[in-house]
Chains A and B, each alone.
Chain A
Amino acid sequence: MAYKLVERPDLTLAERLYLPAVMKGLSLTLKYFFKRKKFTREYPEEPTTVPEGYRGLPALVTDDEGRTKCVACSMCEWVCPPEAIRIIPGSLEEGNPVEKGPKEFTLDTLRCIFCGLCEEACPEEAIFLTDQYEFCGESREEMIFTMDKLLEIGGTRIKGVKKWKKESDAGFHNKGPIR
Chain B
Amino acid sequence: MDFWIDDIGWPFIKIFIIANVALMMVALLVWAERRVAALIQDRLGPNRVGPLGLLQPVADVIKLFLKEDLTPGHVNRPFFIIAPALTMMPAIISLAVIPFGASLIIADLDIGILFIFAISSLAVYGITIGGWASNSKYSLLGGIRSTAQMISYEICLGLSVIGVFMLSKSLRLQDVVLMQGDGIWLFGEHYTGIMGKILDWNIFKQPIGFILFMIAGFAETNRTPFDLAEAEQELAAGFHTEFSSMKFALYFLGEYAAMISIGAITVTLYLGGWTFFGLENLGGSFSWLTQILIFAVKLLALQFFFIWVRWTIPRFRYDQLMRLGWQVLLPIGLANILLTGVLKLIFKV
Contacts and interface: CB of A to CB of B under 8 A. Distances in A.
Contacts of A37: 42
A35 interface: yes
B42 A35 contact: yes
Contacts of B276: none
A35 B308 CA distance: 15
Interface stretch (A26-34, A71-79, A143-151): A26-34
Interface string B287-310: 000000000000000000000110
Interface in A123-138: none
B313 interface: yes
Contacts of A32: 39-42
For the side of the interface on A, what is the size category? 10 to 19
B43 A39 contact: yes
Nearest to A35: B42
A25 B313 contact: yes
Contacts of B42: 32, 35, 37-40
For the side of the interface on B, what is the size category? 10 to 19
A42 B44 contact: yes
A38 B43 contact: yes
A170 interface: no
B20 interface: no
A33 B43 contact: no
B312 A26 contact: yes
The A contact surface, by secondary structure, is helix
A28 B38 CA distance: 15
B119 interface: no
Interface in A29-83: 29-30, 32-33, 35, 37-40, 42
B311 interface: yes
Given A30-B308, A32-B39, A40 B313 contact: no
A5 interface: no
B36 interface: yes
A25 to B, nearest CB: 5
A26 B42 CA distance: 15
A11 interface: no
B36 A33 contact: yes
Contact of B40 (A19, A22, A29): A29
Interface string B27-63: 0000000001011111110000000000000000000
A176 to B, nearest CB: 46
A42 B53 CA distance: 13
Contact of A29 (B38, B43, B44, B308): B308
Interface in B40-88: 40-44
A168 to B, nearest CB: 61
Interface string B177-198: 0000000000000000000000
A136 to B, nearest CB: 18
Contacts of B309: 22, 26
B44 A40 contact: yes
B129 to A, nearest CB: 33
The 7 closest A-B pairs by CB, nearest first: A40-B44, A29-B312, A25-B312, A29-B40, A40-B43, A33-B39, A39-B42
19 contacts: A22-B309, A22-B312, A25-B313, A26-B308, A26-B309, A26-B312, A28-B312, A29-B308, A29-B311, A32-B40, A32-B41, A33-B39, A38-B39, A38-B42, A38-B43, A39-B42, A40-B38, A40-B42, A42-B44
